Amino acid sequence: MNTEPSIKSRIERVRRLAVDDSDTTNYYEAAALAQSVVYDTAGKAHPLAQVLAEATKSGDWTRVLGACRAAIAAYDDGALPGPRLRIAHEIEGDLLDIAQAQSQLAEGATVGSARQVSLAIAAFLAGASLEDALRRLCDAAGIAYDQQRTSIAKLQGALYQPSNQVELISLSENKQITVWGDTRNKADHGKFAEITQTEVTAMVIGVRAFVDKHLP
């Protein structure tokens, strides 16, 4: 289930309840909702979770009001990321970690066929991470795309449309993504012999930097 709309809805209710002229019942509800948001996004270990818990336990509604407003500010500033996006970023990172390991394995391979297979695996995984990141970038910016055809080329085309004043990625990034897409296509179509160590290493490093820049 996508819980992000629920998180936004809860924050908006906390915003309405955590005002100076609210009563004790509203403050308690606001604190409970704020705690649920922090738990569902940053987790129970987040400092805000402890602040909210201690404020509620104290019964000092001035402290509760301050803690609720701190949670709202953290959400507004992007410090409480939606769980789906956080999980997606972690998955992309995991794919890139495996891709990097395969690239390093290829460097030490003594058999040519084994080296090319490892490079192909690395290229495929780095491409999968990039494709997911481009899809998330479209979603975050509200850019429409064909959900049945989410290739790297299709997604970058949606993100870079200078004629329509849409440039969510730069010209240089667009060109680089085309190069990465070509490398991914070699892996997809079994052209393992055409994949080089240099291009795969550069792809893994470059995709990681792109993801971290656009979707931290």
Q: Give the global pTM.
A: 0.63
- Give the closest residue to 125 by CA, choosing from 44, 188, 76, 79: 188
CA distance 6 to 15: 14
118, 102 Cβ separation under 8 angstroms = yes
Q: Where are the chain's structural domains? A: 4-76, 83-214
Return the amino acid letter for 195: I
The three-class DSSP label of residue 122 is: helix
Task: Please give the DSSP secondary-structure letter assigned to residue 18.
Answer: S
Burial class (CB in 10 A: 0-12, 13-18, 19+), 185: middle
**Which residue positions in the chain have pLDDT lower than 70?**
1-4, 45, 81-88, 216
pLDDT of 39 reads 84
Amino acid at 52: L
**What pLDDT, in 10s, does the model give residues 23-80?**
889 999 999 999 998 887 777 767 788 889 888 888 888 888 989 998 998 888 777 7
On whether the CB atoms of residues 200 and 126 are closer than 8 A, the answer is yes
Q: Tell me, what DSSP letter sits at residue 143? A: -
Q: List helix spans (H) across the chain.
A: 4-17, 24-41, 47-58, 61-76, 83-108, 112-141, 152-159, 171-188, 197-214
Query: Which residue, 117, 132, 102, 89, is CA-closest to 204?
Result: 102
Please enumerate in sequence order all residues whose Cβ is within 8 A of that of 17, keeping only pairs 6 or more positions apart, or say none: 26, 27, 29, 30, 33, 68
Distance CA 205, CA 164 (A): 31
